[in-house]
């Protein structure tokens, strides 16, 4: 079956994308699709998904520590206090993606989120998790890029003042943070035998 789970070097079946590099194998096996909670942790993922827009996820993964360093561990309260000088510093930081619109959105989003109650981002995002009983995808062709839930989540976040979070980015966030499990049916990460 084209696009189905494929055996890795260890013989275990994985989603095809999760085998292209060692970075992806680790991310696929230990992080992607696992439930993630906490406002700062979810803010980090929101930011990284926004930075990934138009780029490969591998580019983001390989610069993740640079992002964490540049954005003070993605602590919302800390990033919300960043100044114009910090924005200029970030534009010169070769350890991250130096895209002005994405950097400005990251700072603006932190300022919005700093006004929210503790746990409010977590609660809002997770309120859009679809039915966990949906069938597992058999092939990569069965994995959507956008869903009604991701469209609704995107609209809710935008309505609350967040930027750079369209329906596709919202769905990638949902996949990455475990709101949906898009590991293929025969994937070791879904079957739990990893």
Q: Per residue of the chain (194 residues), what is the pLDDT tens digit?
A: 468 999 999 999 999 999 999 999 999 999 999 999 999 999 999 999 999 999 999 999 999 999 999 999 999 999 999 999 999 999 999 999 999 999 999 999 999 999 999 999 999 999 999 988 889 999 999 999 999 999 999 999 999 999 999 999 999 999 999 999 999 999 999 865 54
Q: Which two tokens stand for residue 98?
A: 């130096």
Euclidean distance between CA atoms 39 and 44, whole angstroms: 9
- Within the chain, residue ranges assigned H as helices are 22-30, 39-52, 57-62, 64-70, 76-80, 84-91, 100-113, 120-126, 148-159, 167-176, 188-191
Catalytic residues: 27, 49, 57
């Amino acid at each position: 079956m084209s696009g189905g789970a494929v055996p890795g070097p260890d013989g275990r079946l994985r989603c095809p994308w999760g085998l292209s590099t060692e970075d992806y194998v680790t991310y696929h096996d230990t992080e992607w699709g696992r439930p993630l909670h906490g406002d700062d942790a979810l803010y980090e993922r929101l930011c990284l998904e926004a930075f990934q827009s138009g780029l490969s996820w591998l580019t983001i993964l390989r610069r993740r520590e640079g992002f964490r360093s540049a954005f003070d561990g993605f602590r919302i309260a800390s990033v919300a206090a960043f100044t114009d000088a910090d924005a200029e510093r970030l534009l010169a930081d070769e350890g991250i993606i130096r895209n002005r619109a994405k950097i400005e959105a990251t700072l603006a989003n932190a300022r919005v989120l700093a006004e929210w109650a503790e746990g409010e981002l977590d609660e809002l995002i997770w309120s859009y998790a679809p039915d966990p009983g949906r069938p597992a995808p058999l092939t990569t062709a069965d994995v959507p890029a956008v869903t009604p839930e991701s469209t609704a989540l995107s609209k809710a976040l935008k309505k609350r003042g967040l930027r750079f979070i369209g329906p596709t980015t919202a769905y990638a966030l949902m996949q990455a943070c475990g709101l949906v499990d898009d590991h293929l049916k025969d994937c070791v990460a879904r079957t739990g035998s990893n």
